[in-house]
Amino acid sequence: MRHDLAREAGEKFGVVVINLEGRVLSANHVAEDLLSANLAPGLNIRGDERLADLFLGERSLVAQTLEQGLMRSGVLTGEGLPREGLLFWSLPLFEGYDKVVGAVVTLVGKGEADVSAGLKFLQLTHEDIMDNLPEGVFVVNTRLQITYINRAAQKITGFSEKEVLGKLCWEVFRSSHCKKGCPLQTTMTTGESLQDREITLTTKSGEKKLIVVSTSLIREKNNIIQGCIQVFRDMSGLRPSPDAAASRYIYADIVGNSPQMKRIFSILPEIASTDTSVLIQGEFGTGKELVARAVHQGSPRKDGPFVAVNCSALTETLLASELFGHERGSFTGAISTKVGRFELAKGGTLFLDEIAEVKPEIQVKLLRVLEDKSFERVGGTRKIAMEARIIAATNRNLSEAIKEGSFRDDLYFRLSTVPIYLPPLRERPGDIPLLVQYLIEKFNTKLDKNVRGIDPKVLRWFCKYSWPGNVRELEHVIEYCFVFVKGRVITERHLPPKEDGTRYGEEIEFIDTGLSPLQEAEKSMIIKALEVTGGKRQEAAEILQISRGSLWRKMRLYNINYD
């Protein structure tokens, strides 16, 4: 079990940080094992009756910490816990000088603790208290001297515990804000907790690292300020690596570097150079209109108009009028002659979106236009030459629609001279980091902001999420984040709520595999290719456009066993 492995590694203490609403802000694996629960960031423990009773129940001492701001300790007992219970220490987190905003709860099995000595938690002298947190943590006293630093902070800064204890924080951090705007100094002076402040520190080796810090006061139980705690995350890897940036493939605002998108990019210039009809199929939000515009912009018709019609948004009568135009008096309300979209698109491209929603009567007229290269206005008799290229798109499977009798097979073959299938985002997770960076640059320009990137943890969530709304949904999420982000890094705090009341990332269990987001995406693509080919490595390698030897090495790297 993971708990046994944690003990062998000397990891004895579980740490859970919660806010007043009962949401988990941070937790380590030891805490999850001790409580027999998944404590993913963002989880609301009120939704778990057992956890709610342990932490927020009427008799819970942790609840007293949250309600009264008092440090509490004791034995935690209840369903799912060891028979003898767990020793715990609960310390309030403050914003300002009197507003409690959360609690840090430290847990340990009774057999693992020296009960006589306790943890001396208020002085934070026990090196194992927070060493299991993935974030860097250090504590200063009221004179800003460092009294504690955890393992993650030592790894990020390059300084060992012996080198920093007792030193002034700016002697170690050497950040861009040490002389002006120090987050610790601000919190100590104003009592205000700070969150997600971006600074640049200089490590022991002289390397510059971008980090995001949060600070909060530490008090004794008699409400005397003892010092300040700072939690920080290394954001140095939030941008794609130079190699990744160089490999980014953008074609007319379409972003992708996956094998599926590379193939589409390779054929678009050839499709654009002809004048044949094109049918684009793909789910909602995959970018069908972007592809249609790319074909138009790359064609000899690029100087002509690009006219788009959403066929699902109009009734049969209105659609006929919109497409072909009408003569005055041809129907009730036709008080003047109207030019239709076929005429407006003369010399350019007519894009028929959601073509599968067109009624059979209009399908017959469309087929006649494609065959005769001419049409008549509604209520008219004069033949008008059709001088526009037709590109159609649909989110439905037209083969199924033909079997159902709702779509004509002869119209399908006329429209699909060149078919293009756009894969959903869930089938190309390797494109997500590229899309995110592209959208960040787009909204920086649009909203006049200077967001540098996204928290790697959030990016990993994005790579694991299925994105039912595809690229359009991703774009809406990033735009929402831009409305609320104040600094230069998007974190989980900025993610929007969903219609069901949950938040993006909340339902996804994050397991830190030590892989970068791009590596996580590559691993997912390899597994998908192997599933498609039934484990045949040569065919999978061809889909991925890599050699069989490269596939074998990557399978070993990512520990993929597919027999």
> Do 379 and 331 meet the contact criterion of CB atoms below 8 Å apart?
yes
Which domains does the chain carry? 1-118 (3.30.450.20), 134-236 (3.30.450.20), 259-421 (3.40.50.300), 426-563 (1.10.8.60)
pLDDT of residue 5: 29
Give the DSSP letter string of 124-165: T--TTSSTT-SSEEEEEETT-BEEEE-HHHHHHH---HHHHT
How far is 285 from 472, CA to CA, in rounded Å? Answer: 5
Return the number of other C-beta atoms located less than 10 Å from residue 162's C-beta: 7
How far is 400 from 112, CA to CA, in rounded Å? Answer: 63
pLDDT of residue 500: 73
Task: Show contacts of 113-121: CB within 8 Å, 24+ apart.
Answer: 113/12, 113/87, 115/87, 118/73, 119/13, 119/89, 121/71, 121/73, 121/89, 121/91
pLDDT of residue 87: 81
Task: Show contacts of 478-484: CB within 8 Å, 24+ apart.
Answer: 478/436, 478/439, 478/440, 478/443, 479/439, 479/443, 482/443, 482/447, 482/449, 482/451
How far is 295 from 284, CA to CA, in rounded Å? Answer: 19
Going by their DSSP bridges, the two strands 86-95 and 99-109 should be labelled as: antiparallel
Instruction: Record the tokens describing residue 454, joined without a space.
Output: 């996204």
- Mean pLDDT for back-to-back runs of 10 residues, the chain (563 residues): 33 80 84 85 84 84 81 77 80 68 82 44 46 77 85 88 85 74 82 78 84 82 79 67 46 85 91 93 94 94 94 85 84 80 93 93 91 88 91 93 92 92 92 91 89 83 90 95 86 83 65 60 76 82 79 80 64
Query: What one-letter code names the amino acid at 492?
Result: E
Closest CA to 176 of 516, 488, 490, 491: 488
pLDDT of residue 122: 37
Instruction: Record the tokens describing residue 274, joined without a space.
Output: 């002809």
